[in-house]
Amino acid sequence: MTFLNAVMALGAAAFVVPLAIHLLFRSRYRSLDWGAMFLLQDVMRVNRRRMQWHQWVLLAIRCAIPILLALAMARPLISSVQSVAGEQPVSWVLLIDDSRSMSAGNRSTRAIAGMTRLLDSMSHGDEVMIIPSSRLAAPVSIGSADDARSRLRQMRFDSSRMNFTAAVQSAVQACRQASHPFRRIVVVSDFQENVLGESNASRREEVYGSGASLLTELDSISDRLGRIDPTPQVDFLDVGLSTDEPDVETGLANVLVKSIRIDPPAVLVDQTVTVVATIQNDSDVPVSGVRASWLVGNRVMETEVVSIDPRGTSELAWRTSFSKPGGTSVGLAVEHTDALMADNRRMRALQVRRPVHVWLVDGDWSDEPLQSETDFLKVALSPFAFGAIDAGERQSTRRQRAIRRGTPIVRGDGRSVVDREVSHRRDLVAAKVIRPGEFVSLWQRVLDSGRQDVGATGQENVGDAESNDEEFPELIVFANVKSPPGTRRSESPAAKDGSVEGTGVLGRYLAMGGRVLFFDGDNVDAEAWNSEGFLPARLDEVVGSPQETKPMRIEPPGARVNAWRLLGGEQDSLFDTVRVFRYRSIKLGEASEASEASGTSGTSGGASTVMLRSQSGQPLVVSGWNRFTGGTTQDALAHGGIRRVGVVQFALPCDTAWSNLPLRPVFLPMVQQLVLDLLASDQQPTVRPGTAMVVFPDARFRTGSGDWEWEVSRPDGKTQAIVGNSSSSLVYGDTHRVGAYRFVANRLDDSEAERDRGTGAQVRVVEVEASESVLRRANEDRLDECEERLGARRYQDAEALIGAVRRDRFGTEVWRPLLWLLLVMLAAEVLWQQFGVTRSVGRVSRVGPEAAS
Amino acid sequence: MRLADLFRARDVSRIESLRLIARGAVEGLSAGRHRSAKKGSSVEFKEHRPYVPGDEVRNIDWKAFGKSDRLYIREFEEETNLRCMILVDQSGSMAYAGERALPLASTDSKPDPNGNRTDKGTDKKRKSAADGSKASPPSWWKGTKQEFACGLAASLSYLLLSNQDSVGVMTFDARIREYVPPRMLPSHLNTILGSLAIESRGGETDLGLVLRHSLSKLPRRGLVVLVSDGLGDVESLGRSLTLLRAERQDVIFLQVLDPDELDFPFDDRIEFRDLESDGRREVVDARQVRSRYVEAMQRHNATIAAACRRSRVDHLILTTDLPLVDALARFVAMRQAGPVSGSLSGSGQQAVPPDALGGAVKGVSS
């Protein structure tokens, strides 16, 4: 024990004063002649020992009073709890949860104020590392308390939920970079329900194996902490508990825009789409008369009033259309004052397209109707065009032209209307049928054209593309084609596992962002296609015959394939009527087989995914995605989860030779959904804060060469210019601010006029997930368990944390309990004297003089 | 010692006006106001009895003979004077003088309509009482219980002699010191006062033993007034009282105590020296023992009161802060009303419930 004011401890010697007084008064008394001595002696004989004991207690109390007073004024420190040498510098790792929920109420204010007070209490030699939970991958900067203070001032609390274990792991990792041997980790968070949830269980299982839980992960982190000597102390500063927040159990009252979706997901120019927003009332009181505004970009387009029941949701739908191609954002903003204002607005990015150009490479050409290999497919891809041609015999030429162009038709009564029905029925796809022999020359013309005049007037959806031969095809369908056209064989190892590197024309096409749809058939040379190597599965023997008496059935894809989930589940599948008489046996790669065996084919990390299979388990449709070279893209894929599907392989033909699939009602929606899925696979409607965005250049850059520049407009109003090359996409990582990011690509050697002809911007929206807006605290038992696993201590306010830090560094100051003890002693002295020694005085005085009077 | 030293003139006249009547029949030598055990001639008719030869003819009730034709003798109560012996304790414990004791002659402090006295306080009371008397207390006055007891004995003697009763005094400590046999001559008062003025040597006393020794000197069927503080062996005292009652003595026990002995009003460390034994002393913190001492005193007084009640002895506790003449007047009045048990103390001169001072002393013995 040490004293802060050691001199004051000498005052303890004052205890001799009451002792001396006691002894002095013990020897001083007056004498009195007394008659009733025998009564007095009886009393003394019985009570002598007790009276002496009372006297000694009184003397002890009186001696203790000056001793306690002196000790309290000397401010003693108990150093037995000291875990850090007081003068040793400490490395601090401040892990701050900057998720959106921290901006609810006064949590962020408390967090920053608490951290500032903690920084103020630090010693000069201490170093500080601040890790925001949204920037765990960023390099950790080590600085002084002043540096940390300035970083704290710049912090914004509008990110995704904190991944607790990843954040603590980052903090532990940062401890290894610390300069000082003594380290301390402070986790500042509101400890929401989703912080300690099991939401990332799949990733955990990948790392720690099957059955791993959050606690298992914490145990592992604890082991790593234990391997650091001396072991860093972990502290939790819980800013989620506050007297300002009325109901901790049910959470704060909040209204949020939960989601925005667009129906249909692929939006064409002038096509009416429905934007559906879900608003949630996360409170116990009804919300009524709330103004909700539909936004396109930052412009308010329409406003309506909505009412929501307690703990209920409400869906708002808005029908609109977009006249220009390019990227934009739509969303909904709710005007309501609640605990978390940031989630009252939610946006979603969308890409307004012109019709997609598709090449149908027909390996079995015929002039007869529905005899060509791709006739059924063409109808399925462009059903309205087919219908328009069919109906054209009954319509005027003017109307047909109007239909094709989507222009208004003025009726005889003077009402100017647009035939919306017709304009809504615009096909997504503009298909062009070519023969295999024409492919190379056409492709060469596309390449030679260098850049396409994609800024010209939008294509009319007429089912052919004769006037646009040089248009870059976004999808090429090979139907019963004998061998890959215009390709040279490549024996490189990469080709065997599906890579597009060095695989000739198709390889370059895929590298440019193109997609391939492969249909099998009798003309297909399996060896030739296998040797090319970009198909997701190897082609094997053809099984069955057209006279098969027991045709094969197709297993409903259900929820396994997102694009086809609406085509039916186990009970009411549209595939039930499909009969397959022949099919090609295809072999998946090893990785794909493993994922297939584990039952996670739809989400596996392998090169291919089984989308459709027979009831006997034979894969019938397999998809594979491109593998991008370059670390940044790999990282982007890893963080964003983008899987850009490049090739979809059917083990069936697209005519009726091997099955009745093209004749069944399921064929059209199946093909439509598949194409939509293929085209939208490179889109990121919304990304989470801190997640990298992948932006692909539009078609005119895919075929050109030379450098180009990305112009990025950020939500904070700043603009960035990024130079890229001709063959790769842009991976943009600075996405910590919520809002719409606008990407415009320009070739560096373009003139201003050519730049203006671009297809417009691509837009990505950064949004925080809706679960972050559910302001409920984590279960206390779970939180306690986490504390226990990490050996952490939790504090409700910064003062308690600072006190604990001081205790650990300098010991416990115990003057306060001593002062309390002193007060207790003073009270005890009075009470002992009044009631302990003469406890019957009141009764006696009542009996004596008062009775006598 | 003279009576004038003890009381003022108006106190004396108050005493003169009091009458102390024996509760039972007594045997006297001359006619008086007290009921005699014998039948004799007086105005108080008692009964008729049949005539027997030898009876005096003048006692025949001729009116009854005329009505009934039978001879009846008329008998009357005989009244005689009282023979009283006052036993005064002069042991060492009677020498205690508290600060609240009043001079014997101070009777100016009169009770208010509620019976409370107007002068209050302990230390000042003595002074104010002395001032109220408009005369300083005699030089020999110390305020001891013994002085109070002597005053009480003197006043009683004067009262009885004034009523033509015989009165004697016996003083004692460890043994009987002075004995003045009962006489009814007015000059006998000086003899009594003289014997009371003889200073005692103090010492320890056994009250019961002294009472038993005094039995042989007591007149038959008389009144015995015991004036003592009662600090001693209570069992022995009880036995002696029983013996006295067996001798058909009418006994009054006037227990004289100082107020200090009842409420023990001390605060400091005090060395208590025994008045009855030179060697015994005790240094105590008065506050610590006060409650237990008072409890012991209450038990002691309760035991005395119980013994008196068993023996049908009038018992009255008198404290020295009480004006003596007032106390005597109250006592006489109480006795005329019936058996006495209780206490008179301090400024109030109230017969407080015996529990307050003596614990169980309550009720009336008859």
Q: What is the pLDDT of residues A223-248, one digit of tens each?
A: 988 888 888 889 999 988 765 555 54
Nearest to A37 among B272, B292, B345 (CB): B272
Quick one: angle between helices A107-120 and A145-153, nearest 10?
170
Q: Which residues contact B77 (CB under 8 A, 6 or more apart)?
A: B35, B36, B39, B40, B42, B44, B45, B46
Q: Do B294 and A55 touch (CB under 8 A)?
A: no
H or E stretch at A453: none
Q: Do B290 and A42 touch (CB under 8 A)?
A: no
Which residues on B lie below 8 Å from A47 (Cβ)?
288-289, 292
Residue A65 has pLDDT above 70, yes or no: yes
The lowest-confidence range among A423-432, A596-605, B177-186 is A596-605
Average pLDDT on A685-698 reads: 78
Which residues on B lie below 8 Å from A25 (Cβ)?
269
Q: Do B294 and A32 touch (CB under 8 A)?
A: no
Average pLDDT on B268-282 reads: 82
C-alpha angle B68/B70/B74, rounded to 5°? Answer: 100
- What is the structure's pLDDT at B42? 57
Instruction: Report the alpha-carbon distance of residue A15 to residue A35 in Å, rounded.
Output: 40
Q: Which pair of structure tokens corresponds to residue B323?
A: 């004006």
Residue B298 has pLDDT above 80, yes or no: yes
Closest approach of A1 to chain B, Cα-based (Å): 41
- pLDDT tens digits for range A185-229: 999 999 888 887 765 555 555 555 555 677 888 888 889 888 888
Beta strand extents in B230-340 (DSSP E only): 250-257, 269-274, 281-285, 314-319
- What is the structure's pLDDT at A236? 92
Q: What percent of chain B has pLDDT over 70?
A: 70
Is the CB of residue A478 less than 8 Å from the CB of residue A518? yes
Nearest Cα neighbor of B182 from B146, B220, B209, B155 is B220
Nearest Cα neighbor of B24 from B216, B245, B341, B242 is B245
A140-144, A246-250, A382-386, B84-88, range with greatest mean pLDDT = B84-88
- What is the structure's pLDDT at B300? 92
- What is the structure's pLDDT at A778? 85
Residue A32 has pLDDT above 60, yes or no: yes
Which residues on A lie below 8 Å from B95 (Cβ)?
33, 35
Other C-beta atoms closer than 10 Å to the C-beta of A519 total: 24
Mutate which of A33, A42, A47, A834 to disrupt the B interface (most B C-beta within 10 Å)?
Answer: A33
Closest approach of A240 to chain B, Cα-based (Å): 59
- What is the structure's pLDDT at A683? 66
- pLDDT tens digits for range A786-844: 888 888 999 988 888 888 888 777 777 788 888 999 999 999 988 887 776 554 443 33
Residue A16 has pLDDT above 70, yes or no: yes
Residue A256 has pLDDT above 50, yes or no: yes
Is the CB of residue A101 less than 8 Å from the CB of residue A772? yes
Interchain CB contact of A45 with B (< 8 Å):
no
Q: Which residues contact A820 (CB under 8 A, 6 or more apart)?
A: none
- pLDDT tens digits for range A480-538: 998 888 755 433 443 344 333 334 677 778 777 788 899 999 999 988 888 877 788 88
The size of chain B, in residues, is 366
C-alpha dihedral (A306, A308, A313, A314), degrees to nearest 10 = -20
Nearest Cα neighbor of A766 from A817, A693, A833 is A693
Q: Do B266 and A843 touch (CB under 8 A)?
A: no
Which residues on B lie below 8 Å from A38 (Cβ)?
231-232
Beta strand extents in A242-384 (DSSP E only): 254-263, 267-268, 273-282, 287-296, 299-308, 313-320, 326-335, 345-353, 356-362
Interchain CB contact of A31 with B (< 8 Å):
yes
Task: Tell me the domain boundaries of chain B.
Answer: 3-25+82-358, 34-80
Instruction: Report the alpha-carbon distance of residue A26 to residue A52 in Å, rounded.
Output: 12
Closest approach of A823 to chain B, Cα-based (Å): 25
A26-30, A629-633, A801-805, range with greatest mean pLDDT = A801-805
Instruction: Report the alpha-carbon distance of residue A811 to residue A826 in Å, rounded.
Output: 28
ipTM of the modeled complex: 0.72
Residue A645 has pLDDT above 70, yes or no: no
CATH 3.30.70.260 fits domain B3-25+82-358: no
Average pLDDT on A731-735 reads: 84
Q: How many CB pairs under 8 A join A and B?
A: 150
Residue B113 has pLDDT above 50, yes or no: no
Comparing A552 with A624, which gets the higher pLDDT? Answer: A552
Nearest to A841 among B95, B116, B290 (CB): B290
Note if the bond before A408 is cis, omega within 30 degrees: no
User: Please, what is the average pLDDT of chain A?
Assistant: 77
Residue B255 has pLDDT above 90, yes or no: yes
Interchain CB contact of A54 with B (< 8 Å):
yes
Is the CB of residue A510 less than 8 Å from the CB of residue A647? yes
Instruction: Give the dihedral sign, CA A198/A202/A207/A208.
Output: positive
pLDDT band at B303 (very low <50, low <70, confident <90, very high): very high
Which residues on A lie below 8 Å from B284 (Cβ)?
40, 44, 51
Alpha carbon A448 to its chain's center: 43
SS3 content of chain B, % helix, strand, coil (to 5): 35, 25, 35
Q: Do A51 and B288 touch (CB under 8 A)?
A: yes
Q: Checking DSSP bridges between strand A475-479 and strand A515-519, what pairing results, if any?
A: parallel
- What is the structure's pLDDT at A85? 57
Nearest CA in chain B to A51: B288
Is the CB of residue A757 less than 8 Å from the CB of residue A455? yes
C-alpha angle A177/A181/A184, rounded to 5°? Answer: 75
Maximum distance among all alpha carbons in chain A? 149
Closest approach of B237 to chain A, Cα-based (Å): 16
Closest approach of A70 to chain B, Cα-based (Å): 31
Q: Do A43 and B266 touch (CB under 8 A)?
A: no
SS3 content of chain A, % helix, strand, coil (to 5): 35, 25, 35
Q: Which pair of structure tokens corresponds to residue A148?
A: 């940390």
Instruction: Report the alpha-carbon distance of residue B179 to residue A111 in Å, rounded.
Output: 104
Residue B358 has pLDDT above 80, yes or no: no
Nearest to B282 among A35, A41, A54 (CB): A41
Q: Which residues contact B311 (CB under 8 A, 6 or more apart)?
A: B238, B241, B242, B244, B245, B251, B365
- What is the structure's pLDDT at B37? 56
Q: Do A852 and B319 touch (CB under 8 A)?
A: yes
- What is the structure's pLDDT at A836? 62
- What is the structure's pLDDT at A209? 58
**DSSP single-letter state for residue A558:** G
Q: Do B95 and A33 touch (CB under 8 A)?
A: yes
pLDDT band at B283 (very low <50, low <70, confident <90, very high): confident
Beta strand extents in B67-205 (DSSP E only): 72-80, 83-89, 166-172, 176-183
The lowest-confidence range among A14-18, B26-30, B179-183, B307-311 is B26-30
- pLDDT tens digits for range A274-307: 999 999 998 888 888 889 999 998 899 999 999 9
